[in-house]
Amino acid sequence: MFKKVLKLIVIAALAAQASAQSFSIRYRFIDFINSSFVESPSAPIGPIIVEMDGTIYGMTAGGGKFGTCQGTIYKLSPNNVLTVMHSFCGGNNSTYFGAETGLVADSQGNMYGARPGPISLSIYAGQVFELVKQPSGSFIYKVLYNFPSSSNLLSGKYPLGSLAVGPDGSVYGTTWRGGNSPDRSTKNSFGTVWKLTPTPSGPYTIQYLHLFEGGADGANPETNVVLDDSGNLYGISSSLDSVNRAQNLWKWSSDSGFSVVAVFAGDGPDDGNDILDINSIRFGPDDNLYVSGSYGGNWNSLPQSSDSSCGGIYEVENGSWTKNPVYFFPATLDSSNVPNAPEGCHPGSISFDAAGNIYGETIQAGSGYGTLFKLTPGASGWTESTLWMFGGVWAQGTSNPVTINPANGAILGAANSPHPPISTTKGVIFRLLP
């Protein structure tokens, strides 16, 4: 059922209305200038981690101690009390990259993430960290690895995508820069795939699994990576062609190394209905890979321009690597060639629940501020339901993935700042009860 193309489109306006009383804002992040909260986190990013009791852990791209840091790790209690667990400091906001990736957890409740590091590269070019869970339930921030500064051109620079953690505690990810560089400069390097392995003495050692060359293998990875049960790693790389913007789905195996298994042709003449600006890759319950892209997907119904397409989701069959469309967000164009998309436009990262349904946010259309959507598999294909239409008061959709609380099925996620009249809000955590 997962391999059928959608044949039935359901615009579930009634579902959105029915959800109105079950939608709530759990927390509003407040602008530092307008807040009495000294550490004042802002701009939540990436996936959030939800415990059975409703406790939430996540990262923000802004805020931090004394207003001079950039980004935090936070904890939101079940009664909505926010605690800053760690602030990303080390430079002023004009010269420092804070959090970018979001958190992932292992089976023991430890959490992992990465930060790109100072733009100047004078200290280091990125950091991988672990939040080590203690018997008391608290966490200790532990640095696993600092990517060296520009003095080592072949090392990775700027980890941007969310990480993957293996059952043996190894941590996998990519860097946007570093690796091969034709002119020996960090600026023109193409990125890396890496693995951090724990050692008996404690420190992690790094192994570079692939150095992107900017050719058929692509370059500059910035989406998440995923592991399968056999230890194979998957991710996305991008073409250096800024016009066609093709992207690769790649695989790394300890047996056969790096290979490109599927290509999304972007704006090129052979793109068909391919998606582009891919922002996430996930395994479905059928062990196939699912890829979401913010643009493309509906070239057959709109002029071939990335600005007039609303994106969609593909399934890639594991092994054969056949690409099957799951859903394209439909749109028509107004007199100014702006998409009119009641179901949403430009989907972000996707998530699965235990039943195999897909959830996500769109960043535009709906009522103008994006939507929260659900895709349900069936014998005739996938059916789209619009669970919520974001509005000015309720914030705006993002590319962040949502998380399903296994205890009660609640959908939780982060959204962008609402528009006036709440101009001081810098992002929210929302909840939609089933």
What's the average model confidence in pLDDT over 390-399? Answer: 74
Most confident of 91-100, 133-142, 386-395, 424-433: 133-142
Confidence of residue 11 (pLDDT cuts 50, 70, 90): very low
Rounded percentage of the chain residues whose pLDDT exceeds 90 = 46
What's the average model confidence in pLDDT over 180-204? Answer: 78
Most confident of 130-134, 297-301, 330-334, 420-424: 130-134
| Residue 62: pLDDT over 60 | yes
| Residue 37: pLDDT over 80 | no
What's the average model confidence in pLDDT over 387-405? Answer: 83
| Residue 94: pLDDT over 50 | no
Give the pLDDT of residue 131. 96
Give the pLDDT of residue 189. 81
Confidence of residue 231 (pLDDT cuts 50, 70, 90): very high
Give the pLDDT of residue 179. 81
Confidence of residue 322 (pLDDT cuts 50, 70, 90): very high
Give the pLDDT of residue 237. 96
Residue 178: name the closest of 229, 120, 146, 219 by CA.
219
Do 430 and 406 touch, CB atoms closer than 8 A? no
Give the pLDDT of residue 212. 92
Give the pLDDT of residue 152. 59
What's the average model confidence in pLDDT over 62-90? Answer: 84
| Residue 412: pLDDT over 70 | yes
Give the pLDDT of residue 269. 44
| Residue 243: pLDDT over 90 | no
Confidence of residue 339 (pLDDT cuts 50, 70, 90): low
Give the pLDDT of residue 180. 66
Rounded percentage of the chain residues whose pLDDT exceeds 70 = 75
Give the separation between CA 374 and CA 343, rounded to whole angstroms: 10
Give the pLDDT of residue 118. 59
Give the pLDDT of residue 95. 40
Do 66 and 84 touch, CB atoms closer than 8 A? no
User: Which of 29-43, 132-146, 367-381 has the weakest average pLDDT?
Assistant: 29-43
| Residue 170: pLDDT over 70 | yes
Higher pLDDT, 266 or 116: 116
pTM, rounded to two decimals: 0.88
Number of Cβ within a 10 Å radius of residue 257: 10
Give the separation between CA 23 and CA 118, rounded to whole angstroms: 38
On the CB side of 34, how many CA atoms lie within 13 Å of its CA? Answer: 10
